[in-house]
Every structure is written in structure tokens, then in C-alpha cells.
Amino acid sequence: MGGTPSLPQVPLTTDRVVLVTGGNTGIGYETSKWIAMMGARVIIACRSEERAKNAIEKMQKEFEEEKAKGTAGICSKERLDVEFMALDLASLNSVENFIETFKSKETKLHLLLCNAGIAMHPLEYTEDGFEIMFQVNYLGHFLLVTKLLPIMLDSGEDCRIVLVSSEAYLTSSFDLEKAQGKHHTKENFKRLQYYGNSKLYQIMQMYCLNRRLQKTNVTVNSIHPGIVDTEINRSFSDLGMWKVFFQISKLIGKTKNPFEGAKTLINAAVNPDFKDTRDAYYSDMRIQQANSLARNQEKQEALWKYSLDCLQKYLKPEDIDKIEKL
């Protein structure tokens, strides 16, 4: 693709339905834009309708610029097929409402890109009583995936779920009794560790899902986009050592802009070479082995059970059976 190194040239049609959480900003924005420019229909799921509409108009303008440059691999349609649906992962009621809205409008879903997240957030609890990084980064997406899987299973071949994790998972610990940080105060809350925990859980979820989806058309993978200069960094601007680390990374060229960070996600989502790939953890577009903690099957299944317990209000036995009895 001219001017877009490392992006696959994949013609997509508007009957290819793509859902991107947090698709209005950062790597989610770039991913939504480029997949839409390949021809797919993209649904941006985020909190702010105004910000989503502004993002969509910006995408359209940049699409027209790419067409004027003669960029290879993009579609020839007049307008991108991108729309907004409201989703606040910090509210499980919002997730449930989103799912009902989606089901009322859509009969297919081919790509589910779980990208939205927050990082290094101070200790805070959602309206549902969960530590906010646990819910926004992991549990809200867990509910979303579980409820939308039946649609994906009926959407034809090569349906993919990609969970945007982070190498911060390497800072994690696994103790579900402390998963909500109740033993911490705001002053001694370990923000990096709990962010890392939420990213570990996403990788573990990947393994749990693939065990259940082995004989189906749906694959699940996870990615680390790199150190990307995006809005997610706003949550740790007050953490002195991390602010310094980030600035040094920028100075020595180790940080990426959102487009560079999106390349790994876009490839995992649409590259034909990755069809039927499962349990892959991509970092800089290369498959790496997750660490032994993330690969621990006993702990993975303990997390699965814990997550189902957390979502008892929202997941009926038949919802769970649709996955467990495949």
C-alpha cells in the first residue's frame, strides 16, 4: 500500500461488519479509519457521540486526501461507511444497552476489536462496584464478547476477536481475592500493577475463549501495540517516574504515533496470512510467547469462573451454555 508500509492490501466489502471499541481516538481511530478505507463497514463504540461524529468527519477528510494521493489498497466509494454506537465500559448497564442496540440493528459481526481502555488510573470504583481498570479494560469487554459471540458464530468464515493488551501485563500479579484493590488506599494503590493485571486478564481470556472456540469460525488473538503517544497517557501524567520514562522514550524514538501503533492491530484484524491463527500474542507485528503466568491454564480457568461470577446479573445460564457447549 503506497505510503502505508506494513499494512496489508485487503479489499473488504460493506457486508464485512467491524466493531471497534474506543474507535474515536488513538490507535482505535487509525484502525477504524484504515479498515473503513479498505471498504468495510465500521461501528465505533465509545462514550461521546460528539467526539465520535468529529472523528468520523476527520476520517472522511483524510480518506479524500488519501484518494487524491492515489494511495493503493483503499476503496473507491464516495464516503466511508462508519457509524457511532454509544458504549461506556465503566457501566455494565451501558454495555448491556449497547448489546441490545447492536442486536436490533445488525445480524452479522465479523471483527470485534476490543481496543478501549484506561491506564494507570488512580483507585476508583465503577457504579457496578469494580475497580475501574478491571472493568473498563477487561470485564466490560468480557461481557461484550460473550453476548456478541453467537452473532459472530453465525457470520460466516474468518471472524476474529482481537484483544488489545499491553506488555504492562509483565508487571502483573495473580490473586483474585485482591483483584478489586479493596485492601489498598488511594495513597498506596499500585496503579501500574493493577493496569498490568487488567492486561494479563485479557491475554488469559484469549486462551479461555480459544479452548471453547477451537472448532468454530471465530479466532481470538491479543496484541501489544507498543509505547504509543495517545490520550490513554493522560491517566499517568501525575506519576513522576512514568512521565519521565515516557518523555525519554519519545526522545530516543521508542514511542509510536497512533498510526504506527495501529499497524499491529490492523494486521491481526484483516491480514489474510493470519486467518485461522489462534492464541497469538502479537508485538510489533511479530508473534511472541506470553509469559508462563499468562499461559497457566489453571489460573486462566479460575479467572474465567471469577468473571462469570462477577457478571451473574447480566449473563444467564443459556448465555454461558452457548459458549461452553460448542
User: Does 236 reside within a domain?
Assistant: yes
Q: What is the rounded distance in angstroms from the CA atom of residue 25 to the CA atom of residue 21?
A: 10
Cell of 118: 484506561
Cell of 60: 472522511
- Domain of 155? 17-324
The number of residues making up the chain comes to 326
CATH of the domain at 180: 3.40.50.720
- CB contact at 8 A, 101 and 149: no
User: Does 2 reside within a domain?
Assistant: no
User: Does 1 reside within a domain?
Assistant: no
pTM score, two decimals? 0.93
Domain count, the chain: 1
User: Does 198 reside within a domain?
Assistant: yes
User: Does 8 reside within a domain?
Assistant: no
User: Does 10 reside within a domain?
Assistant: no
Residues 6+ away with beta carbon under 8 Å from 260:
226, 228
pLDDT in tens, 274-315: 999 999 999 988 999 999 999 999 999 999 999 999 999 999
Give the pLDDT means over successive 10-residue stretches in the chain (326 positions). Answer: 64 96 97 98 98 98 96 94 99 99 98 96 97 99 98 98 96 96 93 96 99 98 82 54 51 71 96 96 92 98 99 96 91
User: Does 58 reside within a domain?
Assistant: yes
Q: What share of the chain is helix, strand, coil (3-state, %, to 5)?
A: 50, 15, 40
Q: What is the rounded distance in angstroms from the CA atom of residue 245 to the CA atom of residue 33?
A: 30
pLDDT at 2: 42
User: Does 310 reside within a domain?
Assistant: yes
Task: Return the active site residues.
Answer: 195
Residue type, 8: P
